[in-house]
Structure 1
Amino acid sequence: MRWRDRFLFVAEAIYKAQQETSEVKGHYLNVTAHTAEEIYKRAKFAVDLGVPIVMHDYLTGGFTANTGLAEYCRDNGLLLHIHRAMHGVIDRQRNHGMHFRVLAKALRLSGGDHLHSGTVVGKLEGEREITLGFVDLMRDDFIPMDRSRGIYFDQEWCSMPGTIPVASGGIHVWHM
């Protein structure tokens, strides 16, 4: 099934379920593509379908494409959910790579409404205090130094919009 057919199929299912249940339903239509132009084409199609949210894999799609998509979504009333596909290759390696804290900061600078952040349980499991530290970095305007959370100096984000941390599928948010 091609992306356009998948988007149509999902949108039809969303609207049908909403009509039958009188509840708001949703799905993150994945607009990640091989070029920025293709990403915008998919995002525009999502807007035309009237869906409220799209998803982008910011590590595989690229930071520049993500920044442009974030601006497009803001201008067109779409929420932008950020997936972190491929992060395990970058941040799960103890001897090389970079910590997810760095990737979370880069995402906040690039733009996105919410991000799969990981939790202290489940497949995206991490150390509790460290996980809470980068969750704070994603949301808060000011993050005080707290070495137990991996925050080694005070960090002020001023008016930079935050990103809402989202637990992976099936994980209750209070596990954060």
Structure 2
Amino acid sequence: EEGSIANLTASIIGNVFGFKAVKALRLEDMRLPVAYLKTFQGPATGIVVERERMDKFGRPFLGATVKPKLGLSGKNYGRVVYEGLRGGLDFLKDDENINSQPFMRWKERFLYSMEAVNRSIASTGEVKGHYMNITAATME
């Protein structure tokens, strides 16, 4: 998405470190225009707030990224979220690059994911979550 420093850094830094062909890699410098940096103000909360929201203390969070990131419908994406949460994860998250795709717009993904979160909370009695990638600079 245009103007998204989060998507830019995920694309440059995040994916390349997972390539099997890359045996060693070190990012030594990355310079971005100030105007571009101003589009990302950082996370709204931190780990303490997330622990309070989820009522989980004294242990690590257990989370995962939904895969595959491409090709799932919103409904199937929600199914993956539900199965992961029901299976014991505290949360799932969108892949950094998923944003709003023609085959699955963010709103559809949001609605099915939240339905999955609410169903898993009802069935487990635990607070669960899903972190959506909503880094776009524009409103849909």
TM bin (shorter chain): 0.3 to 0.5
TM-score, structure 2 normalization: 0.40
Instruction: Determine which structure has greater relative contact order: mean sequence separation of CA pairs < 8 Å that are 6+ residues apart, divided by chain length.
Output: 2
Structure with greater proportional helix content: 1
Structure with greater proportional strand content: 1
TM-score, structure 1 normalization: 0.33
